[in-house]
Amino acid sequence: MNGAEYIAKILKEEGVSWLSCFPSNPMIEALAKEGIRPIAFRHERGAVMAADGYARVSDRKNIGVVGMQSQAGAENSMGGLAQANADNVPILVLPGGNPLNMLFVRPNFSAVNSWATVSRSAEFITSPDQTGNVMRRAFHRLKSSAPGPVVVELPPEVVGLDVPDAGQNYQSPREVIGVPSAGDLADAAKTLVDAKDAMIWAGGGVMSADATEELRELAELLEVPVYTSLPGKSAIDERHPLAIGSGGLTTTGPARKWLQESDCMLAVGTSLTTTPYGQRFPQEKFLIHAVNDVNEMNKDTICDIGLVGHAKYTLQLLIDQVKGLIGEGGRETGAKDRIKAEKDAWWESWMPYLTNDSKPISPYRVIWELNQNLDKENSIVTHDAGAPRDQMAPFYTATTPHSYVGWGKTTHLGASIPLMIGAKKAMPERMCVAFMGDAAFGMSGLDIETSVRAELPITVVLLNNGIMATYPGGTPTAREQFGVTHMTGDYAQIAMGMGAEGIRVSDAAELPGAIQEAAKLNKEGKSVMLDVKTRNEDSRAPARFVEENTVN
Ligand SMILES: Cc1ncc(C[n+]2csc(CCOP(=O)(O)OP(=O)(O)O)c2C)c(N)n1
Ligand SMILES: [Mg+2]
């Protein structure tokens, strides 16, 4: 058995059921022989992002695996790795390697070297007898350590050689679970109970630790509001009376109020990384930071009490401590009433934008209609970079865990399509919706064909405004004189040319029917492009509700 065949057996033992890829890579054939399906994307970055989408909604029960060739294939993959690394998504990345004698010779691309800043770990297999050891380290990291891309580069002459019997020593590593100390938990519980106006910030780690029930229980016990980061969106049902919404660059009015004013915050399952696509809060707030990696603490935010450990078990222990202080039945703080008043006022101020019936259509109206017409518990929705992200984050109402996939630190334009193809692979019964702009389409639009070919039907809701809405600033001359942020396209037509159904929507009144038709077509196995003629509308505040820039 050669190295690639041995790795294929290991992946099978670990429950890997598909390989996201772009040829060539030694694992494609080796896995196919094991009955594991390779799905080729139209670009390596998309292949990585699909593995990411699959892993994100699989909560560390399954990991995404992706392979590409050395040099060009590896060079093309960087954006996908960067995104998964920034959002701490566990994927196994298996680039075909350079031959060992080329590894450190200029100008050959070394994935291990070049990906050091966009992965949790990166190594190449140095000799066949190390295959089992390398793979055990990789799966230990994927299961138990701080999540992120784990890279194993496959030099061709190493994985092409027979693995000696003594080297076939792979033993599936068991998940290791850590919890914070009893003293720190007691301090954290007392601080939360004694605070004047505490809140919880929940990140994506709450979902990947399967801790959404514990999050809700603790919030209800303490009666404190829950905010979610972009990756954490859908960790709590946003219709819950204690949910104050989610945010990246933009957020809800109630979220902003508590982020600004509350005196104490429990941040759980979140890196609290400073990013333009994450909200910030005053340094004076007392911060209890619960996360599974000590290195995420005290990065750019001062941590007052650190709780290192698995989010589910940390929250369970915290719940026990809080019950010890205030009793099994919890307490009343009046937070629910205050949240309701804030939420009602905020929604009311935005209703004119959300129900606007202008032509071209307002993107807020598209979100409103998605809110009304999707079967949310059976859907997964994601945004793309640009105005679509900033418009969706506050206004799309997420319900059950993973009914929304929030993502992004640098936010790679075009990630939404491959993310949803990967999510569909993990949850085939759900309707998977990518909400993107027309510039985003250029980065990954051809993967609509991948979704058709791989029988992973998705719906793309494309805001066709002919422009990059969030780029009026910085480039006024280039924009006005040379149209640098303008573009055109008949995206329904392009999608039809790739085997999907294309539906054009130019009137807001057509939206409900079009969304329902897309759901029906997805159920029948067809991918759908809703090409929605929208107006150029910036996302950041009603004051920037710019009709004069509309180019359609
Ligand atoms: C790979 C990559 N390059 C550049 C950007 C910067 N960027 C963010 S949004 C955006 C334009 C988005 O335009 P579009 O998709 O049409 O959406 P709109 O804002 O017009 O609704 C750009 C260039 C990015 N996020 N990712
Ligand atoms: Mg646009």
Share of the chain above pLDDT 70, in %: 97
Look up the pTM and report it: 0.97
Which CATH code, of 3.40.50.300, 3.30.479.30, 3.40.50.1220, 3.40.50.720, is assigned to 182-340?
3.40.50.1220
Point out the ligand nearest to the CA of residue 384: 1
pLDDT at 112: 93
- Unique residue bearing structure tokens 């038709």: 517
Phi-psi region of 332 (alpha: psi -120 to 50; beta: other; left: phi over 0): beta
> Would you place residue 540 in the very low, low, confident or very high pLDDT band (cuts 50, 70, 90)?
low
Residue 277 clears pLDDT 90, i.e. is over it:
yes
Q: Which residue among 460, 470, 486, 533 has the greatest number of ligand 1 atoms within 8 angstroms of its CB, and so is best to mutate? A: 470
Residue 65 clears pLDDT 70, i.e. is over it:
yes
408 Cα to the center of ligand 1, angstroms: 13
182-340 matches 355-544 in fold: yes
Residue 368 clears pLDDT 60, i.e. is over it:
yes
Residue 336 clears pLDDT 60, i.e. is over it:
yes
486 Cα to the center of ligand 1, angstroms: 12
Q: Whose CA is nearest to atom 22 of ligand 1?
A: 386
131 Cα to the center of ligand 1, angstroms: 41
Return d(Cα 74, Cα 109) in angstroms, integer. 8
pLDDT at 453: 98
Q: Can you give the residue ranges of every domain in the chain?
A: 3-167, 182-340, 355-544
Return d(Cα 540, Cα 521) in angstroms, integer. 34
Q: Which residue among 471, 479, 536 has the greatest number of ligand 1 atoms within 8 angstroms of its CB, and so is best to mutate? A: 471
Residue 550 clears pLDDT 50, i.e. is over it:
no
CATH superfamily of 3-167: Thiamin diphosphate (ThDP)-binding fold, Pyr/PP domains (3.40.50.970)
Atom of ligand 1 nearest to the CA of 411: 25
CA angle at residue 296 from 293 to 298, to 5 degrees?
130
Among 55-59, 255-259, 471-475, the minimum mean pLDDT is found in 471-475
pLDDT at 474: 73
Contact indicator for 533, 360 with CB cutoff of 8 Å: yes
Residue 545 clears pLDDT 80, i.e. is over it:
no
250 Cα to the center of ligand 2, angstroms: 18
Please give the sequence-ordered ranges of beta strands (E in DSSP) within 135-285, or none if there are none: 149-153, 198-202, 226-229, 243-247, 264-268
Q: 308 CB contacts (<8 Å, ≥6 apart)?
A: 178, 180, 290, 291, 292, 293, 294, 297
391 Cα to the center of ligand 2, angstroms: 13
Run of H or E residues at 434: strand 431-437
Point out the ligand nearest to the CA of residue 537: 1
More confident: 550 or 108: 108
Share of the chain above pLDDT 90, in %: 91
Q: How many CA atoms lie within 13 A of 404 on its CB side?
A: 32
Point out the ligand nearest to the CA of residue 441: 1
Taking residues 348-369, report their average pLDDT: 94
Phi-psi region of 234 (alpha: psi -120 to 50; beta: other; left: phi over 0): left
CB-based pocket (< 6 A), ligand 1:
385-388, 411-413, 437-440, 463, 465, 467-470
Contact indicator for 47, 83 with CB cutoff of 8 Å: no
135 Cα to the center of ligand 2, angstroms: 43
Residue 549 clears pLDDT 60, i.e. is over it:
no
**CATH code reported for the domain at 355-544:** 3.40.50.970
Taking residues 267-283, report their average pLDDT: 95
Return d(Cα 411, Cα 112) in angstroms, integer. 23
